[in-house]
């Protein structure tokens, strides 16, 4: 794990509700987590669990239909108390985003060089040749070949991997304290995905930027993260060091996510084999859409360990059998192999 020097981001009781035509939707429910300086934290869960909404709420990027409460402490200041003008100064400079789909995030009628330069002009007050030199350096930093030529090209002229690297270059233009990467490897092939992860890992180590990685891909988590925060139906249900989480998951939902990852060893031992037409293991049902915070376990309807307590009482986040926080009335027992030091990243 990366050596950290102090807490950079501290989220406390973050709650987000959206007003819709069908009523109020509870998207994030009293979420708490921290990111330390130089740390890589993964926010994990299925689509609809509240990961991206949580990330957008950090700097006030949610639409007017959202109602946000709670505390968001960042580098000694409460972002919830900052004006929109102050948040605009923080976005891109201190907290930068790499969004999920670069083709829709980049402006199609402006060159990538102009878009990278816009960040430098806005936050660094650079002009003219200084902007071009710094933009070229950033393109080189994220591994884009022929950077001077690429700066003159438009997003549609670049591959998906190149566009994602441009997004990372823009995000790192001001050497932010925190980089929020929302599904940065979605729709990329395995080779390109590995290159993007290498860029994030190297840049974090070299610049000291902390990373909040939002993903449902546990393979990416295992390869990149120091610590994992698992979300379900807007709540944090488990939090642990990445090695500990993979070796000793405490929540049945986390176990289900891990079982859904292709595992050649499991197939060789007689488990489900996609090649034989058996498919991957899956978690039955869907993430519920909530109008209010229920006094129950939100995973109860999909869990095989459910009893009356799960349906009538809200579990708190507390230390489970493995020693890390789990929100479950019946957390999983620690495997004997883990007690003997088994489990590897």
Which residue's structure tokens are 């102009």?
Answer: 114
> Mean pLDDT lowest for which of 6-10, 61-65, 282-286, 324-328?
282-286
- Reported as a pLDDT band with limits 50, 70 and 90, residue 318 is very high
Cα distance from N-terminal residue to C-terminal residue, the chain: 11
Rg value, the chain, Cα = 21
Do 249 and 332 fall into the same domain? yes
- Residues 171-203 have pLDDT tens digits of 888 989 999 999 887 767 777 778 888 888 887
Integer CA distances (angstroms), 59 to 68, 143, 181, 344, in order: 11, 29, 14, 36
Per-residue pLDDT of 274-299, as tens digits, reads: 444 456 788 999 999 999 999 999 99
227 and 84 in a single domain? The answer is yes
Q: Is residue 102 part of a domain?
A: no
- Could you tell me if 81 and 113 lie in one domain? no
Q: Is 205 inside a domain boundary? A: yes
Place of tokens 């997004």: 167
pLDDT of residue 332: 94
CATH number of the domain within which 328 lies? 3.40.50.300
Residues 232 and 310 grouped into a single domain: yes
The reported pLDDT for the residue numbered 131 is 94
**Residue 316: band (very low, low, confident or very high) from pLDDT cuts 50, 70, 90:** very high
Q: Both 212 and 137 in a single domain?
A: no
pLDDT at 278: 53
Q: Which domain holds residue 122?
A: 108-175
Over the stretch 189-238, which tens digit does the pLDDT of each residue have?
777 778 888 888 887 888 889 999 999 888 889 989 999 999 999 999 99
Number of domains in the chain: 2
DSSP 291-326: SS--SS-TTGGG-TT--HHHHHSPPP-EE-TTSSEE
In this structure, are 187 and 268 located in the same domain?
yes
Whether residue 169 is found in the same domain as residue 24: no
Q: Give the CA distances from residue 28 to residues 71, 159, 198, 210, 215, in Å, rounded to whole numbers and listed in that order.
A: 13, 34, 31, 23, 16
Residue 200: predicted pLDDT: 84
Q: Which pLDDT belongs to residue 68? A: 97
Judgement on whether residues 326 and 192 belong to the same structural domain of the protein:
yes
Mean pLDDT, rounded, for 45-49: 92
Is the confidence at residue 339, as pLDDT, over 60? no
Question: Across residues 98-119, what is the average pLDDT?
Answer: 90
Instruction: Estimate the crossing angle of helix 160-171 against helix 112-123, to 10 degrees.
Output: 10
What is each CA distance from 146 to 79, 113, 234, 338, in whole angstroms? 39, 13, 43, 48
Domain boundary among 175, 200, 233: 175
- Range with the poorest average pLDDT among 101-115, 152-166, 268-282, 307-321: 268-282
What pLDDT shows up at residue 336? 63
What is the reported pLDDT for 94?
A: 95
Distance (Å, whole) CA 196 – CA 200:
6
């Amino acid at each position: 794990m990366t050596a950290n020097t102090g807490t950079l981001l501290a989220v406390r009781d973050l709650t987000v509700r959206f007003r819709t035509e069908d009523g109020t939707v509870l998207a994030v429910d009293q979420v708490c987590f921290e990111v330390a300086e130089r740390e890589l934290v993964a926010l994990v869960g299925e689509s609809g669990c509240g990961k991206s909404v949580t990330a957008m709420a950090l700097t006030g990027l949610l639409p007017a239909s959202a109602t946000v409460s709670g505390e968001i402490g960042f580098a000694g200041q409460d972002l919830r108390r900052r004006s929109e003008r102050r948040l605009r100064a923080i976005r891109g400079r201190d907290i930068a985003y790499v969004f999920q789909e670069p083709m829709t995030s980049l402006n199609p009628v402006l060159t990538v060089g102009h878009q990278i330069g816009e960040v430098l002009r806005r936050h660094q007050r650079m002009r003219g040749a200084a902007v071009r030199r710094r933009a070229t350096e950033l393109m080189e930093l994220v591994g884009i070949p022929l950077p001077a030529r690429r700066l003159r090209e438009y997003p549609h002229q670049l591959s998906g991997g190149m566009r994602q690297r441009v997004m990372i270059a823009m995000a790192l233009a001001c050497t932010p304290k925190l980089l929020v990467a929302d599904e940065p490897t979605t729709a990329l092939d395995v080779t390109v995905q590995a290159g993007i992860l290498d860029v994030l890992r190297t840049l974090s180590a070299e610049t000291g930027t902390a990373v909040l990685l939002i993903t449902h891909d546990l393979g990416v988590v295992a390869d990149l993260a120091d610590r994992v925060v698992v979300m379900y139906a807007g709540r944090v249900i488990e939090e642990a060091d990445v090695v500990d989480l993979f070796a000793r998951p405490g929540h049945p939902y986390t176990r289900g996510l891990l079982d859904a990852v292709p595992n050649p060893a499991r197939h060789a031992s007689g488990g489900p084999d996609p090649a034989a037409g058996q498919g991957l293991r899956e978690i039955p049902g869907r993430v519920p859409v909530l109008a209010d915070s229920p006094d129950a376990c939100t995973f109860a309807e999909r869990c095989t360990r459910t009893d009356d307590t799960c349906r009538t009482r809200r579990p708190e986040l507390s230390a489970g059998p493995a020693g890390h926080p789990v929100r479950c009335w019946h957390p999983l027992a620690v495997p004997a192999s883990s007690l003997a030091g088994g489990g590897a990243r």
